């Protein structure tokens, strides 16, 4: 039986999505090392951790908005430019909750904490979009350009 996005999305858990490994760096790391780790892993952000606890996130947006690229001090510590105490979700939270948080707060990345005590994870808006496009291509291809758009009349032949 084929299920629709409207049926699946309210029950879809974050753990059901294929997630990549995040870049994880310790608090106190130099900014340049964090940027180099992000470039090496080809990831748009890094989770800043103190032991197993996520204490911050550093994203490409932080890089653009907070750093004067001509004056990056190689010795500057990441906590001087990261977003501290980011909102987090767990693998057992619903994808719908993540979408709401991303929409409300303007996030593209949400750190994930594991209730089992595993290392931190990361959910990106891209992870959600790719999953939906892969599993519900007909619904995606038939969506209007703007989500709240309603066509007044059909055009064409």
Number of domains in the chain: 1
Per-residue tens of pLDDT for the chain, all 157 residues: 567 777 888 899 999 999 989 999 999 999 999 999 999 999 999 999 998 889 999 999 888 876 666 656 667 899 988 999 999 999 999 999 999 999 999 999 999 997 665 678 999 999 999 988 887 777 666 666 665 656 566 555 5
Per-residue model confidence (pLDDT) at position 54: 93
Quote the domain boundaries for residue 59.
Answer: 5-141
CATH number for position 123: 3.10.580.10
pLDDT of residue 46: 97
Spatial separation of the C-alpha atoms in residues 41 and 44, rounded to whole Å? 9
Tell me if 157 is assigned to some domain. no
Q: What is the pLDDT of residue 75?
A: 76
- Residue 21: inside a domain, yes or no? yes
In a domain, 155, yes or no: no
Provide the CB-side half-sphere exposure for 152 (13 A, CA).
0
| Assigned token pair, 11 | 């029950």
Residue 152 lies in a domain: no
Side-by-side strand order, sheet with 23-26: 23-26, 45-50, 53-59, 83-84
**Residue 48, domain member (yes or no):** yes
């Amino acid at each position: 039986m084929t299920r629709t996005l409207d049926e699946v999305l309210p029950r879809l858990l974050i753990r059901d999505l294929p997630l990549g490994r995040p870049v994880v760096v310790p608090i106190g790391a130099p900014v340049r090392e964090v940027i180099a780790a992000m470039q090496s892993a080809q990831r748009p952000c890094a989770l800043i951790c103190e032991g197993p606890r996520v204490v911050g996130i550093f994203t490409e947006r932080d890089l653009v908005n907070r750093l004067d690229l001509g004056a990056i001090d190689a010795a500057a510590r990441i906590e001087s430019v990261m977003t501290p105490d980011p909102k987090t979700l767990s693998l057992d939270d619903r994808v719908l909750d993540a979408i709401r948080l991303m929409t409300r707060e303007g996030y593209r990345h949400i750190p994930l904490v594991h209730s089992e005590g595993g290392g931190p994870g990361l959910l990106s808006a891209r992870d959600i979009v790719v999953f939906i496009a892969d599993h519900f291509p007909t619904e995606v291809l038939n969506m209007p350009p703007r989500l709240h758009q309603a066509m007044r009349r059909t055009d064409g032949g």
